[in-house]
Chains A and B, each alone.
Chain A
Amino acid sequence: MDKAKSMVDKKGASGPFHVNNGQSQKVFHSHVMVATNGSCCSSSSNAFGSSTVPSGSGTFENMHHLHRGDDAECSGSPAKRCKLRRRTESVRKHRPPFPWFGMDIGGTLVKLVYFEPVDITAEEEQEEVENLKSIRRYLTSNVAYGKTGVRDVHLELRNLTMCGRTGNLHFIRFPTQAMPRFIQMGRDKNFSSLHTTLCATGGGAYKFENEFRMMADLELLKLDELDCLIRGLLFVDRVGFNGHPECYYFQNPSDTQSCVKKPCTLDNPFPMLLVNIGSGVSILAVYSENNYKRVTGTSLGGGTFLGLCCLLTGCETFEEALEMASKGDSTNVDKLVKDIYGGDYERFGLQGSAVASSFGHMMSKEKRDSISKEDLARATLVTITNNIGSIARMCAVNEKIERVVFVGNFLRINTVSTKLLAYAMDYWSKGQLRALFLEHEGYFGAVGALMELLKTTEDP
């Protein structure tokens, strides 16, 4: 594929797993809140190399200039000012000051939810600092931020009431690799002057805590990722997806022809086995909003799928890997029961079409030499998915839970895996277990973090 074209193509859709092709220097182009004309602090131009704003992708100049003005105002002791204002405002309104963010910094992706108030009064608008206004405009008027930041517009929750305010909840993601630049941007734009509490969860909340403090004068409110995940999930399920259910399952999972996606509700969600597939996998048994345990986890997750795909096929993004997988045939790579036994292994009730050995055919050099990248991608996807299904099923049986909810960004635009999980749960449990999925897959941690922001400030 033409390189330049691919870069452009990837914008908007891709990003989370962007891998540099090594042709140029780091080509990170997170323009979320970053000035690119070299007028900000000297280190940033080094950090971002030769990047310039690709035409049409950045609406940042505007914001940058506004920001600079703000910077000038805030020179002195921004931290002190910030604290002061935060206190006065929260006392006045019993709710946290805008902007409202919830952030989940995972191993591969940063998930950001942003609440855009739509009930802003004229008076409020008047009072709103330019800085804040520009953030709102920037985030809501773009769907892509730089090369790798993406807003999942189709997931936007509209006219949501949170903490007495009505607004839209936006879902944004960018690669964790971009964190240092994100933090630097926070400093450059004097984010700390916005006197907001930045609620963050995921491992990155711990990993980047110091950098937030040192670089951007921002104190993170660190939150446990599993607490956030559950709280966020239950909230989104409760409010629904713009009038539709958040949850869905597959009808006739064992029949590829008649297998169809069906919406459903999690009316009585407990107990549920919650399988969160990010870079790695965590499996939780959830008995109520506050009562859950982490049953186990596995390191074979989304990161493994993409990591192996990159090594095996030379692909660079999750989207690319999935695209290849959708065209491949894993039976050229995997050894099936029938490849060994000529048919079913009746002694143990194993169907001939069951996979006996993932990548088993690849023990043979001839087959290795003749295999396509698409087949390899597909086999990787099927292997990882089946394995997660298998562990999840065992956990469900051990924990005596019949409802298995799969979430996490591994499932994003990944119908191969969702259908396979639905099939595996159904087939191996002889219909006892049902696999459920949620539309907002990987964003629940971030939503949970946002809710914590609203909760903390509501409490006296």
Chain B
Amino acid sequence: MKRAAPRSTLRGLIKKHKPQLRLATNVDLLVHLNFLLFLHRLAEEARINAFENKSKIIKLEHVISAAKISLKKSRG
């Protein structure tokens, strides 16, 4: 099922991008949540694309187009 959120990895990831930025205590949990929701959105889009193509498998092109949309949505 679900795995534990890699808190230290998340923090390291953000540090890599923005070393000067600090994180509060449970912020990485929310980041994890955000990531989950993002993946969720991505998955939904991919699934829809696959359905449209009447394919039973999520293929690359489905994911790519889904990724474009999801990334745009998650820009904030």
Do these two chains interact?
Answer: no
Residues of B near any A CB (own CB < 8 A): none
